[in-house]
Copies of this chain bind each other. A is one copy, B any other.
Amino acid sequence: MERYRRIEGLQMNEEHLWCLKENGYEAGLHKHYEGLFTQGNGYMHARGSFEEGCSDAPQDEEYLRFPDNVTLEKPRHPKSKQGTFIPGIVARHPLLKEEIVNLPYMLGLELRSAGESLDMDRSRISGYRRWLDLRDGSLHRTLIWETAEGMQLQCTFERYISMADTHLCIQRIQVEVLAGEGRLEAAASLRGDVRTNGMNHFDSVVPTAEVGGSLSLKTLTEQGNRIFMHSALEASEAVIWQEENSQVTAALRGEFAVQTGDRLTVSKLTAVTTDRDMEEGEAGSRALAQLSRAREIGWDQLYERHAACWKSKWQGADILIKGDDLAQLNVRASLYHLLRANAPEDARVAICAKGYAGEAYFGRYFWDTEINLLPFYLHTNPQAARNLLLFRYNTLDGARRNAQNYGYRGARYAWESSLSGDEQCANWQYADHEIHITADIVYALYHYVRATGDEDFLEHYGIDILVETARYWCDRVDWNREGVGELLGVMGPDEYLPFTRNNAFTNRMVKFSLEQTIACLDSLQGSKPDSYAAAAERLNILPEERELFRHTAEKLRLPYDSRTDIVPQSDDFASYADLDFDSIWTDRSRPFGHFISQERNYRSKALKQADVLELMLLFPHEFSREQLKAAYDYYEPITTHDSSLSVAVHGIVASWLNQPKAAANFLQRVMDIDLSLEKKGAAEGIHIANCGGLWQLIVYGLAGLKSAMWSKDIKLEPRLPKGWTKLSFQLAWQGERYRITIHPDAHAVHKLEGRGYVAGTTL
């Protein structure tokens, strides 16, 4: 781990293109770095907190978080919130419904000397540096600590969560005594005093510590899940570990006598398992087995295996940018989180809105998955994309329950999905009215099929989603007196207008969804009558029902046509109030929503995010360049981008419209969302949809790739930003892999040999 392994094609002097650095500690930025430096491997994730914690930042504060607008609410824990998340381990919040549980803190490692603890805020510290190496997801901290007794200690903390052995977390402290002598203490812990959004979700936490150097914490959640954490400690010097458990914390400390020139290493290897894991066998014994196997493998080999996995992931996903080192690093930061947050083998979970890097969005699943994230996985790791769709298939029963709860037939996907697909959104205006999610999933289904050619997926999984959601739509449509189908009371992607009539985006997506349902049934009946018959029986499809799907698809209103000058966001959009933005939004560095009451916002023409532009992004061939430009010119000035889903879309459209300055500006804003030190945007977690948006902005916008949804072939229309001399990335496409290479005046598509894949199997 000390030496970074070479990744194919990379040089050792490329740290500045791969390492996110924090130079000097600043308390006000700590929470931001906790989010940004989140490590993980799909199975588990841990925020980038200090091993020893933070002074004045208790993690077990109890309070009642209320349902509120997450974009606008003031988060708790201004200084630090540790986070340890295993997708799938959830509990009930009395007001907010299902939330992912913040698990016991497994990273505890402290240094003490003569009663003084190393503390980033209170100790005398110099030479502080911290960095996350994106190549292998390892986190490093180095500093010089001058103790009260006058010792000068060079301290280095390193840790990673293994991408190969997904239950393992590996940590090490190294201390070099630069001057002085005295007694040094190292303490390791597994801490159960953790609350999730102020709630205690642990029914019991049982700590044990053995003086041989092992710690364990057994946690039973109120939902009945069992979490096992076992740690093994090792030190470079002989030591007698002493237990210092508290009620819910397992802890050991060891004391060392040191003098100038001494080097001391303390390592902590932690295995984490749960009773929800896919592996067979009792979780507690699996954790112990993992640990002993890891110790057999040894530290170097553990790292080798881990680094090899990261290397493989980067090979398929990396985007190479020449001529703009900062963009290169920032893009990789996004890719890193996209690679980290996904568990490509576990279709019982998807990717939560904060990328498992914070509590803010409760670990739930939104439309982000299908519209913002999916394209990245489609074209870098189709197996992962398939898994995301399988998650929706697996939660179809939840969607059926949602439909029923609202009084409809069929399946209605949740605006905020739990593990089971049941609606969790505590704010009814979104849960009730932001219905496009159900069509977004069908769009994504076809996006997957068309990008991969995996037609079988429709036959085995997709058809159930299609038929059940079509039933919901037919119930949801109202018929006006002219016999036109309408969708009333709808919140489109723009969440600042909750009750619109015939939202253009939503209606188009629903029409698409119904049309594909009909096409799928027709085609299956023609090509595979047996398979159709089985589906018809399983889903109880009636002939008149297919007629209803067809009729609804045909008669559903689209509030625009090819002659429309400006495509209206909804039928009633013109009737909302115009705003004088300059007099209201007096500080554009803060969200617009802070400057206006929700009441006024809900009746005014102020878009939270792209809505018509999102429609044009998903159906680009249906709009003329003039319509695109008119929409951009009309909507962009009244769009607040208060949602992180908005800027990337605008960047793509600006790029399509050949407005390089605007595109570059949006590109910068996309990167700033999680990375800007002024915004501290990662404090509550990673805006993972925006990471997917950045990939789309580069691939669809700057490289000008025509979406696989609408093109069988790879078609590019690149427009590189000023200064970029090269842009290159791999692309999985129709079962093959390609390398795209773009220079300012030329581009090339090379098919990669020997790296083909078959959809439905892992690369």
Query: Chain A: residues with CB nearer than 8 A to chain B?
Result: 64, 66, 94-95, 405-407, 428, 432-433, 478, 481, 486, 488-489, 498-499, 501, 571-572, 575-578, 596-600, 602-604
* Complex CA distance for A131 and B196, rounded to whole angstroms: 54
A597 x B432 contact (CB < 8 A): yes
* Complex CA distance for A95 and B499, rounded to whole angstroms: 25
B488 x A597 contact (CB < 8 A): no
A603 x B488 contact (CB < 8 A): yes
Of the candidates B428, B478, B599, which one forms a contact with A489 in the assembled complex, judged by CB atoms under 8 Å apart?
B599
Q: Which residues of B contact A489 (CB under 8 A)?
A: 599-600, 602-603
Q: Which residues of B contact A499 (CB under 8 A)?
A: 498-499, 602-603
* Complex CA distance for A571 and B571, rounded to whole angstroms: 14
* Complex CA distance for A600 and B405, rounded to whole angstroms: 12
What are 29 A-B pairs at a CB distance below 8 A?
A64-B94, A66-B95, A405-B597, A406-B599, A406-B600, A407-B596, A407-B597, A407-B600, A428-B598, A432-B597, A432-B599, A432-B602, A478-B577, A478-B603, A478-B604, A481-B578, A486-B577, A488-B575, A488-B576, A488-B577, A488-B603, A489-B600, A499-B499, A499-B603, A501-B572, A501-B575, A571-B575, A572-B572, A572-B575
Chain B's closest residue to A597 (CB) is B406
Q: Which residues of B contact A407 (CB under 8 A)?
A: 596-597, 600
Chain B's closest residue to A596 (CB) is B407
Q: Which residues of B contact A433 (CB under 8 A)?
A: 599
- A763, chain B: closest CB distance, angstroms: 42
* Complex CA distance for A207 and B335, rounded to whole angstroms: 67
* Complex CA distance for A407 and B597, rounded to whole angstroms: 7
Q: Which residues of B contact A64 (CB under 8 A)?
A: 94
Q: 14 additional contacts, CB 8 Å, given A432-B599, A499-B602?
A: A66-B95, A406-B600, A407-B597, A478-B578, A481-B578, A486-B577, A488-B577, A488-B603, A489-B599, A489-B600, A489-B603, A499-B603, A501-B575, A571-B575
* Complex CA distance for A310 and B578, rounded to whole angstroms: 58
Chain B's closest residue to A603 (CB) is B489
* Complex CA distance for A501 and B499, rounded to whole angstroms: 12
* Complex CA distance for A499 and B570, rounded to whole angstroms: 15
Chain B's closest residue to A486 (CB) is B577
- A49, chain B: closest CB distance, angstroms: 29
Q: Which residues of B contact A478 (CB under 8 A)?
A: 577-578, 603-604
* Complex CA distance for A598 and B603, rounded to whole angstroms: 20
- A730, chain B: closest CB distance, angstroms: 44
- A512, chain B: closest CB distance, angstroms: 22
* Complex CA distance for A94 and B405, rounded to whole angstroms: 28
Q: Which residues of B contact A578 (CB under 8 A)?
A: 478, 481
- A199, chain B: closest CB distance, angstroms: 13
Q: Which residues of B contact A428 (CB under 8 A)?
A: 598-599
Give the top 8 A-B pairs by smallest Cβ distance, nearest first.
Answer: A489-B603, A432-B599, A478-B577, A488-B603, A499-B499, A406-B597, A407-B597, A489-B602
A598 x B488 contact (CB < 8 A): no
* Complex CA distance for A432 and B407, rounded to whole angstroms: 27
* Complex CA distance for A592 and B404, rounded to whole angstroms: 18
* Complex CA distance for A499 and B433, rounded to whole angstroms: 13
Chain B's closest residue to A428 (CB) is B598
B572 x A432 contact (CB < 8 A): no
* Complex CA distance for A596 and B577, rounded to whole angstroms: 31
Q: Which residues of B contact A405 (CB under 8 A)?
A: 597
- A566, chain B: closest CB distance, angstroms: 15
- A195, chain B: closest CB distance, angstroms: 17
- A469, chain B: closest CB distance, angstroms: 17
- A325, chain B: closest CB distance, angstroms: 44
Chain B's closest residue to A601 (CB) is B489
* Complex CA distance for A146 and B603, rounded to whole angstroms: 68
* Complex CA distance for A509 and B95, rounded to whole angstroms: 37
